[in-house]
Amino acid sequence: MTKANNLTGERFGRLVVLSRDTSNTARNVYWICKCECGTIKSVCGVNLRNQHVKSCGCLRREVLKDRQTKPDEDITYSAAHKRINKYRGAASEYRCIDCGEKAEDWSLVHSARAKDLTAIHGGYTLYYSGSQEDYEPRCRACHKKYDDEVSTEND
């Protein structure tokens, strides 16, 4: 192996290359790497060089955990809805709290608007919250009626 091809001792993100993985018979060259967290992992050299792999997986887990625990004011409208679907499931799994029909949407409760966040979409102000407790399942008709009530109150 030429010195130019030897990655031993090189650092790639959180990984330090310990040696070539001779047990891997794949077409590409694999390297035994030690992550900063202590995990030993075999990684394809191509993925190391092009920075597709930067850790044993611990970095991704940390980033995902950080995203899930962000303060409510740091999340987007889309992230708020993804969060509620993750923790409570799709609104369609519930009945509308107003009419009892199959729900279609998660609706922000009016009392949550004191701590709401806003986004502008298509010229409309969208209200949302980072807390899944601030939402109730509603069918589209009841959701529209419910939101129209708050619009009327604010006029």
Per-residue pLDDT tens for 1-25? 555 589 999 999 999 999 999 987 7
75 phi, psi to nearest 5 deg: -105, 160
In a domain, 5, yes or no: no
Cα 104 from Cα 7, distance rounded (Å): 54
Please list, in sequence order, all residues whose beta carbon lies within 8 angstroms of the beta carbon of residue 135, skipping any fewer than 6 positions away: 84, 88, 106, 107, 108, 109, 129
* Domain stops at, among 62, 80, 99: 62
Mean pLDDT of 30-52: 93
Q: Which of 15-24, 120-129, 133-142 has the lowest mean pLDDT?
A: 120-129
Structure tokens at 76: 């987007």
Asked if 58 and 41 touch (Cβ cutoff 8 Å), the reply is no
**DSSP H helical segments within 98-155, as ranges?**
140-154
Average pLDDT over residues 104-130: 76
Q: How confident is the model at residue 129 (pLDDT cuts 50, 70, 90)?
A: confident
Alpha-carbon dihedral sign for residues 141, 144, 150, 155: negative
- Are residues 46 and 91 located together in one domain of the fold? no
For residues 98 and 126, the model is more confident at 98
- Asked whether residue 87 falls in the same domain as residue 109, the answer is yes
Give tens-digit pLDDT for 56-97: 988 888 877 765 655 555 678 788 888 888 888 999 999 999
- Predicted pLDDT at 155: 47
Checking if the pLDDT of 34 tops 90, the result is yes
Q: What is the DSSP letter of 154?
A: H
Using alpha carbons, list the distances in angstroms from residue 104 to 22, 50, 119: 54, 43, 21
91: containing domain:
71-154
Q: Which of 48, 42, 79 is nearest to 64 (CA)?
A: 79
pLDDT at residue 41 in the model = 95
Summarize pLDDT for 140-149 with one digit per residue, the tens.
999 999 988 8
Q: Higher confidence at residue 40 or residue 110?
A: 40
Number of domains in the chain: 2
Say how many residues make up the chain. Answer: 155
Q: Is residue 80 part of a domain?
A: yes
